[in-house]
Amino acid sequence: MKIIGLTFVVLFNFFFQSTLPSETSNQIIQTSKDEKEVSDEVLLNTTRKLTQKIENKLQEEKNIDISAIGISYQIKEIRIRVNGNQQYLNKIEKDIKEIANELAQETIFKDYSVAVNLQIPSSANKIKTNVNSLEKSLLEIGYKEVNKALQESNDYFKRDITLPTQLPPVTFTHNFGRLNHSFGKENDEFEIAYMNDHVGQNHYQIRVRPVQYKLEISDEKIDHTIKLKDGSAAIYSTKLPLDVLVFEKDKWQYTLLVDKRISNTVTKEVLVDIANSINEK
């Protein structure tokens, strides 16, 4: 795929159960009642294997320019986005559906429908031309300058998102923002990704969504419930592929995510301090 250095984002979303679809950078993953009998590990592995097989076959046999492949468990749908125009989509849509359906027959997703759509281009793609591969890959999937993405999100939600003023005590070479709103308002979410092009483990992310569409973390994956300065509760978990702190403030749900490889530096206490820095005078 063209999505580089964002595996941690994909893995995060898988382990949260929502009653509605949830988009990720590479996979659109969501749990329905039918899949709750299947372990998280099985679902994750099956999803990743199937999406990779579909991508490989479409690119190797048909040379199709794939933007993203995902699975929505709730509505039983395999979603595939392609780069190009409507004429290109009309030409390749049948082949895509046939290949995806054929490969899905070997999995627990054999009864899922297949939806094919165009990837909405980001204006950032046209603005920057001299960027390194990491920047290029992020711009291609809709990331842009944080301030621009934040303003776009404020306008979209019709109210302001307040960000933490504190950052983890590690170095980052890049930070980009994005408004995710491709699959209905239940998936609407603002995110910022911080990363280091030279130190792979320096990954940190903030995700913000309205509380009415908040994601729930299952009880067995909660390590601690922590009281923040404003009296609200935050949930901390190390039982996911990423360490996370989840809390609510001003009718937003915030999720802070950090790569486990820097958990000795970006500790629970650090994440709590970051959470407390929102609206801090």
Domain assignment of residue 173, given as a range: 124-276
pTM, two decimals, is 0.57
Check: CB of residue 118 under 8 Å from CB of residue 79. Answer: no
Do 97 and 146 lie in one domain? The reply is: no
Tokens representing 124 are 């950032």
Please check whether residue 281 lies inside any domain of the structure: no
Q: What is residue 21's predicted lDDT score, i.e. its pLDDT?
A: 32
> Residues 170-183: what's their mean pLDDT?
84
Whether residue 134 is found in the same domain as residue 263 = yes
CATH code for the domain in which residue 13 is found = 3.30.300
Q: Report the number of distinct structural domains present in the chain.
A: 2
Note the pLDDT tens digit of each residue in 135-156.
777 777 778 899 999 999 999 9
Spatial distance between the Cα atoms of 71 and 51, rounded to a whole number of angstroms: 8
- Mean pLDDT, the chain, rounded, equals 79
The CA distance from 235 to 223, in Å, is 8
Using the 3D structure, point to which of 94, 118, 142 is the last residue of a domain.
118
Beta strands 189-195 and 174-180, pairing class: antiparallel
263 occurs within a structural domain: yes
Which residue is associated with the tokens 């030279």?
A: 198
On whether both 156 and 226 belong to a single domain, the answer is yes
Residues 93 and 187 reside in one and the same domain: no
